[in-house]
Amino acid sequence: MRSIFYYVREFLRPEWLKKFFFAKTAPLVSPSYFKDYPSLTEKECTACLSCMMICPAPGAIAVLRKKDGWEPEVYPGHCIRCGLCVEACPEGVLASGRILDVARRDKTAFLSWYRLQVDDNLCMRCGNCCVSCPVNREVDPQLAGTGTSASDEVIMRIEGGRVTILHEEKCTGCKTCENNCPNRAIRVARMVEGVQGEEAEA
């Protein structure tokens, strides 16, 4: 009898009743370390476009010309919050969660370059890619029409009726050649390597 009394009394404690009827888990807020949409820091953007180049989601980030300089803009609804742009930016313009702190602590960085590939079955040797490439134009202003060039310093040229890629490392990844190819024969691929330690500091 006594035990039942204690039992009931235990259940009638106000704080127990309150917890039972009004229990709530933690309030609906995101923790401070949550990797949210990248936000702007005070740093100045140099419009190097590394952020746009590394972004895996279509249409998620654009570097826009503002009144006083350039500024990256992230579009929710497209951005997948991967944080790669935050890590890739050499100026530290973007910030999100603890990404910058962790990258600084672990001394990590991204190296990137571009790879050009021409599908010989699709290519019809028009030379549009060689002519349209802005780097090519700068190296050899004579380059026109057929895409042949006397200069060995161009990224690519038509040689013996085929596109020959000479200096892949000069490519800036603008994809002008890809857009100007009528057959989608040339593809520009961005290669990214994550590095750590001394390599990253260089």
Segment 19-78, which members bind another protein (CB under 8 A)?
23-25, 28-30, 34, 56-59, 76-78
Binding residue for ligand SF4 (CB under 6 A) from 32, 58, 93, 103?
93
Q: CB of residue 39 vs another protein: minimum separation in angstroms?
A: 15
DSSP 38-56: -EE-SSPB----HHHHH--
Choice between 168 and 178, CB closer to another protein: 178
Contacts for 197 with CB less than 8 Å, ≥ 6 apart: 107
Binding residue for ligand SF4 (CB under 6 A) from 62, 100, 166, 174?
174
List strand residue ranges (DSSP E) for 75-142, in order.
94-95, 108-118
Contacts for 108 with CB less than 8 Å, ≥ 6 apart: 87, 102, 194, 195, 196, 200
Q: Which two tokens stand for residue 54?
A: 């590394």
Question: Would you count residue 82 as binding ligand SF4 (CB under 6 A)?
Answer: yes
Q: Which residues bind another protein (CB under 8 A)?
A: 23-25, 28-30, 34, 56-59, 76-81
Q: Which residues bind ligand SF4 (CB under 6 A)?
A: 38, 45-51, 54-57, 60-61, 63, 72, 74, 79-85, 88-89, 91, 93-94, 114, 116, 133, 135, 155, 171-177, 188
